[in-house]
A and B are shown apart, each in its own frame.
Chain A
């Protein structure tokens, strides 16, 4: 009855014909950059203050700087510099027009590179204009960027950990707040900043356990659980802040600071020395965790299973992986990591705990996670981008308050990180691949 099959099975991957027409929205990106470039040219360049200079300080005398390879400072004519950078940005826009107008699909990497370089040129045009008649210390700006990036990066990593396993983590904000609270409270009680550092992730675990209990255990809608937990975190910490902490700050809420660990020689390198090698332990931990998590997620048994649980929990179940246990573990681990980020806000920067001091950083961290495409390295880069906007805002805030030069309203500057986040996330929406089972509870019959 049987005959040999006549069709030889073709098991090779299907290669579909790529579209050879431009997508209808091909002009959106170059049009946006062109408009931005023109705005920069007009407002930062042509309408700039003539005859004044902008000074960027790069190196200090004490730096290890053989033969002065890195100049101590770079001085640009404010107007001319801004015009030059704007024209560079416009040139990059032109390149984007050419790239996008080609019928064949532009390579994503080339496009991203062009956009990043465009962003740099645009920011330089902006800064050159805004520091007219003044001096900007680039090292301080970058050092501030790293410090501000730490809570965002830890928060985003918390998101990566739980969302890769399929649990939406809106509660990052609450986890950061609990971490900050725990570090300040326990640190003050014990008088040891190191015990405070240990207490932060443990305190944030409470938030993680609640999230896991409701989202994984009771299948409650995960976004709602997260939002409610954030409100709960504000309520609980504000209550203790208003009662215990305010009554006796020296015992319960002292301002403590983790010591700065300065790596000899490396820290003396110009520009990057103090940025990378003159920080507290949390900054070094951030690099280690990002590297470790990248390897763990993509090169180990644990990572393969976690991603399987987030992509196709039933498939994971059919090969004997405990889906809900994996999710519990990852949510807990994530919340502990976010707790470390919270510690940055208090003992990392040497301030006492304050009401609602996470101030939306958890949501920005969420944006960093999405912009970073659920990848630890991407999340870190996104966190650094947002932190740069924040750091710049802080520098300019103090700068433009003084007399002379350009003045920007402080409220507008405060919006800067959020505008950057909005544009950055809008730019990648639709292109980010979310773990397929993200947000879906796994229920066994």
Chain B
């Protein structure tokens, strides 16, 4: 099946997400769609899948123009999609999720037996071991993604769209996914692979289309130079590696001992975590999303209930303190979810810049806020952090994601810190802003502040951290030096201890990723 998008345009209000995009996907090829966060890749695919209605342009399949009113039409036309945010019902079983929408029935009732058989059949083709009766919410993220894949395939998809599929995977799981993609291609399925990761594109694509700010800015061959792809994607020259001065660690500042967090269901979401952080060093917390990182940072901030164990900052116990007391102790915090936990969308930039200090000097007292001090503060921080906004009185929701993140970072760094905890400090931020935010974090470290960086992006952790702790299912599997081999880190993210991972790598367990690096192909 040959798929063609001609002049697809999609606007949200005054924002043009897709501007006359043309794309041709030939039968049996892996076609990568490369672009930064917010470039319009996902919007384009949601148009293709009938989730958004395009404002212009047409979709052509095998030279016949088609139009999709809803995803049902797209599915019927042979288009399958694995969404970045999984389209699975968490409380349903694997079998129920697989057959939802085209359920087999027997005598008027659901035929779950047939659904189970379907799961087993398709799983067997790819060597998956999915239990048809497991609840999706109990499955690890990688397995949930495999459920999404077999779901798309069960609809006899001839074009499979994978939207940022590697964001939730360990490097080795990414390799497995690529093997599956190649197998599918060889069986004749076309694949549209959406990503912003250059090395993945180079490893698996047959052809590459680069999108920037809603427009196609070029086509490239997988043999293209990585720097060339990067500049095409970003629109200017970028230095991908941060040159980082050697850390000069001082005394131990934060000492976490046997920290445990229990959720409402009685599950240990954080299970006996111990580490320490010294003055002037960055401890990176790596791991696939959902392995206890959120609970760890929130427990330190006093945002979790049922916390046991100890976390001492300069000898002072943080466990049991209220969030306000923790902030007063000098802890700067960047929450992982900026829109939900860090900003109040309708408040102005100036107000968001003092959210954590609005009730204390110099910005206010228990009774009133000092509006002049708040304005002056904004007038100082906006140029310093290069926050692109029309005015400090504009609602923070009018800013782009990258600029919103700068607001959060500026707020966290805007005082003398005893400790900085930053979760996903650059999530959804463009490459230019990433460089800047990383620089600021390293500056803070060089001032002597102990820094904890929580990130699911291995690149980010390796660039910033002086030491790396890898989390897996609520525990820390090991703390390794910041220049540890990426393959070792990848295996640790999949549950290996540091020693086991090093042994496996020594005996040849390499990923495509690191092989490319060896060939000198990756910066």
> Digit string of A279-298 for contact with B (CB within 8 Å is 1, else 0)?
00000000000000001000
Tell me whether A317 and B128 are in contact (CB under 8 A): no
Q: How far is the CA of A295 from the CA of B172 in the complex (A)?
A: 43
Tell me whether A11 and B143 are in contact (CB under 8 A): yes
Tell me whether A315 and B88 are in contact (CB under 8 A): yes
Tell me whether A445 and B53 are in contact (CB under 8 A): yes
Chain A contacts of B138 at CB under 8 A? 13-14
Is B1 part of the contact surface with A, judged by Cβ < 8 Å?
no
Is A119 part of the contact surface with B, judged by Cβ < 8 Å?
no
Q: How far is the CA of A431 from the CA of B72 in the complex (A)?
A: 36
Contacts A9-B176, A19-B268, A321-B101 given; indicate if A445 touches B52 (C-beta within 8 A): yes
Tell me whether B143 and A9 are in contact (CB under 8 A): yes
Chain B contacts of A307 at CB under 8 A? 89, 91-92
Tell me whether B267 and A17 are in contact (CB under 8 A): yes
Contacts A3-B510, A319-B101 given; indicate if A436 touches B90 (C-beta within 8 A): yes
Is A407 part of the contact surface with B, judged by Cβ < 8 Å?
no
Contacts A17-B474, A305-B100, A308-B92 given; indicate if A318 touches B203 (C-beta within 8 A): no
What is the CB-to-nearest-CB distance from A295 to chain B, in angstroms, rounded to a whole number?
8
Q: How far is the CA of A319 from the CA of B50 in the complex (A)?
A: 11
Q: How far is the CA of A7 from the CA of B101 in the complex (A)?
A: 33
What is the CB-to-nearest-CB distance from A429 to chain B, in angstroms, rounded to a whole number?
11
What is the CB-to-nearest-CB distance from B14 to chain A, in angstroms, rounded to a whole number?
15
Chain A contacts of B146 at CB under 8 A? 9, 11
Instruction: Pick the contact of B172: A6, A17, A19, A320 (CB < 8 A).
Output: A6
> Digit string of B134-148 for contact with A (CB within 8 Å is 1, else 0)?
110011101100100
Chain A contacts of B83 at CB under 8 A? 318
Q: How far is the CA of A433 from the CA of B265 in the complex (A)?
A: 11
Q: How far is the CA of A3 from the CA of B86 in the complex (A)?
A: 28
Contacts A3-B175, A11-B130, A21-B308 given; indicate if A308 touches B268 (C-beta within 8 A): no
Chain A contacts of B267 at CB under 8 A? 16-19
Instruction: Name the interface residues of B4-23: CB closer than 8 Å to any CB of A.
Output: 12
Instruction: Name the interface residues of B21-63: CB closer than 8 Å to any CB of A.
Output: 46, 49, 51-53
Tell me whether B131 and A13 are in contact (CB under 8 A): yes
Is B245 part of the contact surface with A, judged by Cβ < 8 Å?
no
Instruction: Pick the contact of B109: A18, A300, A436 (CB < 8 A).
Output: A300
Is A23 part of the contact surface with B, judged by Cβ < 8 Å?
yes
Q: How far is the CA of A26 from the CA of B271 in the complex (A)?
A: 20
Instruction: Pick the contact of B128: A11, A17, A299, A304 (CB < 8 A).
Output: A11
Chain B contacts of A66 at CB under 8 A? none
Q: How far is the CA of A315 from the CA of B91 in the complex (A)?
A: 12
> Digit string of A357-390 for contact with B (CB within 8 Å is 1, else 0)?
0000000000000000000000000000000000
> Digit string of A297-339 for contact with B (CB within 8 Å is 1, else 0)?
0011101110110011011111111100000000000000000
Chain A contacts of B135 at CB under 8 A? 13
Instruction: Name the interface residues of A5-50: CB closer than 8 Å to any CB of B.
Output: 5-7, 9-14, 16-19, 21, 23-24
- Among residues of B, the one whose C-beta sits closest to the C-beta of A322 is B70
Chain B contacts of A18 at CB under 8 A? 266-268
Chain A contacts of B474 at CB under 8 A? 16-17
Q: How far is the CA of A12 from the CA of B131 in the complex (A)?
A: 7
Is B412 part of the contact surface with A, judged by Cβ < 8 Å?
no
What is the CB-to-nearest-CB distance from A444 to chain B, in angstroms, rounded to a whole number?
7
Q: How far is the CA of A141 from the CA of B486 in the complex (A)?
A: 73
Q: How far is the CA of A445 from the CA of B102 in the complex (A)?
A: 24
Tell me whether A317 and B129 are in contact (CB under 8 A): no
Chain A contacts of B103 at CB under 8 A? 301, 304-305
Tell me whether A5 and B175 are in contact (CB under 8 A): yes
Tell me whether B89 and A311 are in contact (CB under 8 A): yes
Q: How many A-B residue pairs have CB under 8 A?
A: 172
Chain B contacts of A300 at CB under 8 A? 105, 108-110
> Digit string of A119-153 for contact with B (CB within 8 Å is 1, else 0)?
00000000000000000000000000000000000
Counting chain B CB atoms within 10 Å of each CB, the highest count among A295, A304, A307 belongs to: A304
Chain B contacts of A105 at CB under 8 A? 266
Contacts A300-B108, A300-B109, A318-B83 given; indicate if A13 touches B134 (C-beta within 8 A): yes
What is the CB-to-nearest-CB distance from A317 to chain B, in angstroms, rounded to a whole number?
6
What is the CB-to-nearest-CB distance from A102 to chain B, in angstroms, rounded to a whole number?
13
Chain A contacts of B215 at CB under 8 A? none
Instruction: Pick the contact of B473: A9, A16, A312, A314 (CB < 8 A).
Output: A16
Instruction: Name the interface residues of A421-445: CB closer than 8 Å to any CB of B.
Output: 430, 433, 436, 444-445
Q: How far is the CA of A413 from the CA of B176 in the complex (A)?
A: 67
Q: How far is the CA of A312 from the CA of B73 in the complex (A)?
A: 20
What is the CB-to-nearest-CB distance from B374 to chain A, in angstroms, rounded to a whole number?
32
Is A1 part of the contact surface with B, judged by Cβ < 8 Å?
yes
Instruction: Name the interface residues of B272-293: CB closer than 8 Å to any CB of A.
Output: none
- Among residues of A, the one whose C-beta sits closest to the C-beta of B99 is A304
Chain B contacts of A304 at CB under 8 A? 92, 96, 100, 103, 110
Chain A contacts of B173 at CB under 8 A? 7, 9
Instruction: Pick the contact of B87: A3, A295, A303, A315 (CB < 8 A).
Output: A315
Instruction: Pick the contact of A21: B129, B176, B262, B491 (CB < 8 A).
Output: B262
Tell me whether B89 and A5 are in contact (CB under 8 A): no
What is the CB-to-nearest-CB distance from B286 to chain A, in angstroms, rounded to a whole number?
16
Is B269 part of the contact surface with A, judged by Cβ < 8 Å?
yes
Contacts A13-B134, A308-B92 given; indicate if A7 touches B176 (C-beta within 8 A): yes
Is B442 part of the contact surface with A, judged by Cβ < 8 Å?
no
Tell me whether A14 and B72 are in contact (CB under 8 A): no
| A-B pairs with beta carbons under 8 Å apart, 24 shown | A3-B175, A7-B491, A9-B142, A10-B129, A10-B140, A11-B140, A16-B267, A16-B269, A18-B268, A23-B306, A300-B109, A304-B103, A305-B101, A307-B92, A308-B92, A312-B87, A314-B51, A315-B87, A315-B97, A316-B89, A316-B100, A320-B101, A444-B51, A445-B12
A residues engaging B (CB < 8 A)?
1-7, 9-14, 16-19, 21, 23-24, 105, 295, 299-301, 303-305, 307-308, 311-312, 314-322, 430, 433, 436, 444-445
Additional A-B contacts beyond A7-B176, A304-B110, A305-B101 (15; CB < 8 A): A2-B512, A3-B510, A6-B509, A9-B146, A11-B139, A295-B109, A299-B109, A304-B100, A311-B89, A311-B91, A315-B86, A315-B97, A317-B70, A320-B71, A320-B73
